[in-house]
Amino acid sequence: MSADRIDIVQQFVDLASHEDTLAAFDFSVQSAAGAAVSGLCRVSKPRGRVGGLAYLSLVFVADAADDAARAAVDVALGELESPQVRTALPMVQDVVTLPAMTEGGESYVRQVDLLFQAHVDPGTPFVRDRLLPTLQRHVALTVGEVIWWGEAEAPAGTAPQSESLLDWLRSNVWKRGPAE
């Protein structure tokens, strides 16, 4: 392994350490072939405002083993910039979609940042009352179980038992912290 090689997982962990996780939820997207592509979305906001900037980071991680699965997730996430979403979330000034990353070709990672007007607090009430209903109504993805940070642990055995990047993130990166 080259010393110049970028460790995508380590960069992801480092980025997550500068943000407060508000929630995470399972999601699924239908591919053109009709197969469901499943994943997990982490919703977080920075610790403190940087230069008055308020934003939410949505990091989508999916088990996408082929180009059709990755394309299905890309199409769904592209809808975050649609007129319907803009109308439903007028307090969002801009949507910044970062390029997708893959790890080993089977996992898909894409970050989408929602930038807010200065007076908006993009906290848990916004996520619960505005963002999640908008995703369910206007984006071609199905929102599954939502885990709110600071609430009781989810029942044991709810995550599939496999060694995918998605499962590793669930158990190691996005685990609940001591602030509960």
- Reported as a pLDDT band with limits 50, 70 and 90, residue 119 is confident
pLDDT of 38 > 80? The answer is yes
Count the neighbouring beta carbons within 10 Å of the beta carbon of residue 128. 14
Instruction: Give mean pLDDT, residues 58-64.
Output: 91
* CA–CA gap between residue 96 and residue 81 (Å, rounded): 9
* CA–CA gap between residue 113 and residue 72 (Å, rounded): 19
Tens of pLDDT along 132-170? 999 999 999 999 999 998 544 433 333 434 445 556 555
Tens of pLDDT along 63-90? 888 888 888 999 999 999 999 999 999 9
Range among 46-55, 105-114, 163-172 rated most confident = 105-114
Q: Are 64 and 73 in contact (CB under 8 A)?
A: yes
Cβ burial of 155 (10 Å; 0-12, 13-18, 19+) is exposed
Instruction: Give mean pLDDT, residues 94-116.
Output: 86
Q: What is the pLDDT of residue 159?
A: 40
Q: Which two tokens stand for residue 121?
A: 């607090």
Domain limits of the chain?
A: 8-173
